[in-house]
């Protein structure tokens, strides 16, 4: 794929005097409100439209060239709205509200009720459940974020012996452990 010449990444319909004026207003408003990233995005697009090279803009704004190119693509696709701060990526969840509610019920019921042999949810297990139940694929590392958005929080199990005597453990920590710590180390030969 050949590189485009400076200014060609932005379609002609986004380079009209009206669009440039809108972009300048957006830049000025962003600066006035202290929205640094929006201000940087607007500066980059304006600089590019005015003939600056991406590599020069990246150096001036201290961001990567790929970042500048991403901003240019967003502006070309969506105009000024594409430069506004917000959540990156998908605007809508891949699961409907009804599916999210069903998933919440399944998660609350526990992994055993969902047919898993483990007594603990993992990202991989929830991702498999979502794929099986709803036909939607999520990367296992994204599952904690999805569950957090649904109101769940990460819980880590504590490692405890199931048949341990709490009283005996407390006695050991109070009496035996300090005695062990105070003994001098045996010198190795």
Nearest of 63, 61, 64, 62 to residue 46 by alpha carbon? 61
Sign of the Cα torsion 125, 89, 150, 154 reads positive
- 6 domain residue, yes or no: no
Domain count, the chain: 2
Nearest of 46, 49, 65, 47 to residue 11 by alpha carbon? 49
- Using CA atoms, how far apart are residues 134 and 100, in angstroms rounded to an integer? 10
- 177 domain residue, yes or no: no
Looking at the fold, whether 35 and 77 belong to one and the same domain comes out as: yes
Looking at the fold, whether 103 and 135 belong to one and the same domain comes out as: yes
pLDDT digits (tens, 9 = 90+) for 53-95: 999 999 999 999 999 999 999 999 889 999 998 755 455 678 8
Looking at the fold, whether 54 and 102 belong to one and the same domain comes out as: no
pLDDT digits (tens, 9 = 90+) for 120-156: 888 899 999 999 999 988 888 888 888 888 888 877 7
Looking at the fold, whether 74 and 47 belong to one and the same domain comes out as: yes
Looking at the fold, whether 78 and 103 belong to one and the same domain comes out as: no
pLDDT digits (tens, 9 = 90+) for 177-189: 888 877 666 666 5
- How confident is the model at residue 8, as a pLDDT? 75
Looking at the fold, whether 42 and 101 belong to one and the same domain comes out as: no
Structural domain containing residue 73: 12-83
pTM, two decimal places: 0.46
- Using CA atoms, how far apart are residues 91 and 77, in angstroms rounded to an integer? 15
């Amino acid at each position: 794929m050949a590189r485009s010449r400076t200014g060609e990444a932005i379609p002609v319909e986004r380079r009209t005097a009206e669009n440039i004026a809108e972009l300048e207003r957006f830049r000025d408003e962003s600066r006035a409100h202290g929205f640094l990233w929006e201000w940087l995005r607007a500066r980059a697009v304006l600089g590019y439209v005015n003939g600056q090279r991406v590599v020069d803009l990246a150096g001036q704004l201290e961001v990567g060239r790929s970042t500048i190119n991403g901003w240019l693509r967003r502006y070309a696709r969506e105009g000024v709205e594409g430069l506004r701060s917000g959540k990156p990526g998908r605007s809508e969840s891949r699961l409907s509200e009804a599916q999210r509610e069903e998933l919440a019920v399944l998660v609350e019921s526990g992994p055993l009720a969902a047919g898993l042999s483990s007594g603990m949810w993992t990202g991989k297990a929830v991702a498999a459940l979502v794929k099986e139940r709803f036909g939607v694929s999520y990367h296992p590392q994204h599952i904690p974020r999805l569950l957090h958005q649904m109101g769940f929080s990460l819980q880590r199990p504590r490692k405890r012996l199931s048949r341990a005597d709490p009283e005996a453990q407390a006695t050991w920590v109070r009496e035996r452990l300090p005695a062990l710590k105070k003994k001098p180390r045996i010198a190795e030969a």
